[in-house]
């Protein structure tokens, strides 16, 4: 499993990229809105730092509108992956964009069959949202398991991104299930890299080092 950073914040993106663990970035309208920056220039800035897929979402809900936004986004940089919401119009747009060789990430996927439809329409990636299902008392990881099973059984050429990740357990289980990617907020990325025994171990080594003569 590879990692994407789920963020539109340049400081987080730069720090995560420099850590060497992320393969790309996913954004969404809410994450972009938090930054108070214009969308296209922000994507250009991200593309200067990140050498990997950068998901950017369309706002239009109609087929023509989605296509025109998607084409404009794809013009920004070849690394842009167009995020399309999981709707009938969205599937139509995914099919056309696949024919134009513009990569897509079908977002807001909440059932295994939505994921299957997206893959059949020609999506490059699908993003099942684990945390938002957990929030309403369902089991997000079960959705991920079902999607990975269906994609394996039918040898579908579509990558699965475990999205709406809330904690390290989501990440561990997503890796075991076989998700191709997990897109994680920066806060979770930091949690993943730390452990109290690592911190205590460093402290003890430094304390002991002070006793080494002539150090
Ligand atoms: C995925 O691409 C989405 O941007 C994201 O994972 C949504 O997460 P949230 O449910 O925490 O907003």
- 6 CA: nearest ligand 1 atom: 4
What pTM did the predictor assign?
0.96
The tokens of 104 are what? 């897509």
Question: Does the pLDDT of residue 170 top 90, yes or no?
Answer: yes
The tokens of 6 are what? 């789920």
Model pLDDT for residues 74-87, shown as the tens digit of each residue: 999 999 999 999 99
Mean pLDDT across the chain: 98
164 in ligand 1 pocket by Cβ < 6 Å?
A: yes
Please, which pLDDT band fits residue 3 given cuts at 50, 70 and 90?
very high
- 31 CA: nearest ligand 1 atom: 4
Alpha carbon of 9 to ligand 1 centroid (Å): 14
- 132 CA: nearest ligand 1 atom: 10
Q: Which residue's alpha carbon is at the smallest distance from atom 6 of ligand 1?
A: 164
Alpha carbon of 211 to ligand 1 centroid (Å): 49
Q: 28: closest CA among 1, 54, 61?
A: 54
Please, which pLDDT band fits residue 21 given cuts at 50, 70 and 90?
very high
> What's the pLDDT at 118?
98
Catalytic-labelled residue, pool 83, 176, 190, 211:
83
Query: 83 catalytic, yes or no?
Result: yes
> What's the pLDDT at 190?
96
For residue 135, what are the CA distances in angstroms to 26, 57, 129, 184, 190? 21, 23, 10, 17, 22
Q: What is the pLDDT averaged over residues 175-200? A: 97
Q: Map tokens 């922000």 to a residue.
A: 42
Bridge partners, residue 35, by sequence = none
Residues whose CB is less than 8 angstroms from the CB of residue 3 and which lie 6 or more positions away in sequence, other chains included: 21, 22, 23, 181, 182, 183, 184, 189
- Residues 164, 132 contacting (CB under 8 angstroms): yes
Class of residue 34 by CB neighbours under 10 A (exposed 0-12, middle 13-18, buried 19+): exposed
Please, which pLDDT band fits residue 215 given cuts at 50, 70 and 90?
confident
The tokens of 25 are what? 């970035």
Please, which pLDDT band fits residue 94 given cuts at 50, 70 and 90?
very high
Q: What is the pLDDT averaged over residues 10-15? A: 98
> What's the pLDDT at 33?
98
> What's the pLDDT at 207?
97
Model pLDDT for residues 50-73, shown as the tens digit of each residue: 999 999 999 999 999 999 999 999
Question: Does the pLDDT of residue 194 top 90, yes or no?
Answer: yes
Please, which pLDDT band fits residue 16 given cuts at 50, 70 and 90?
very high
Residues whose CB is less than 8 angstroms from the CB of residue 6 and which lie 6 or more positions away in sequence, other chains included: 25, 26, 27, 28, 31, 163, 165, 183, 184, 185
């Amino acid at each position: 499993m590879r990692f994407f950073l789920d963020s539109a914040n340049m400081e987080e993106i730069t720090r995560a990229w420099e850590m060497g663990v992320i393969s790309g970035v996913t954004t969404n309208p809410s994450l972009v809105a938090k930054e108070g920056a214009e969308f296209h220039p922000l994507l250009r800035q991200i593309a200067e730092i990140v050498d990997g897929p950068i998901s950017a979402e369309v706002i239009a809900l109609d087929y023509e509108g989605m296509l025109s936004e998607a084409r404009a986004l794809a013009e920004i940089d070849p690394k842009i992956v167009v995020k399309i919401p999981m709707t009938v119009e969205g599937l139509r747009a995914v099919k056309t964009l696949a024919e134009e060789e513009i990569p897509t990430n079908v977002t807001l996927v909440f059932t295994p069959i939505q994921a299957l439809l997206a893959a059949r329409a020609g999506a490059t990636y699908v993003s099942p949202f684990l945390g938002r299902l957990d929030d309403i008392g369902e089991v997000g990881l079960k959705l991920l398991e079902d999607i990975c099973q269906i994609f394996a059984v039918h040898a579908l050429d579509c990558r699965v991104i475990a999205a709406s990740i809330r904690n390290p357990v989501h990440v561990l289980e997503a890796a075991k299930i076989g998700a191709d990617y997990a897109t994680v907020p920066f806060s979770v990325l930091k949690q993943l890299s730390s452990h109290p025994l690592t911190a205590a171990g460093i402290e003890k080594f430094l304390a002991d080092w002070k006793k080494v003569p002539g150090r």
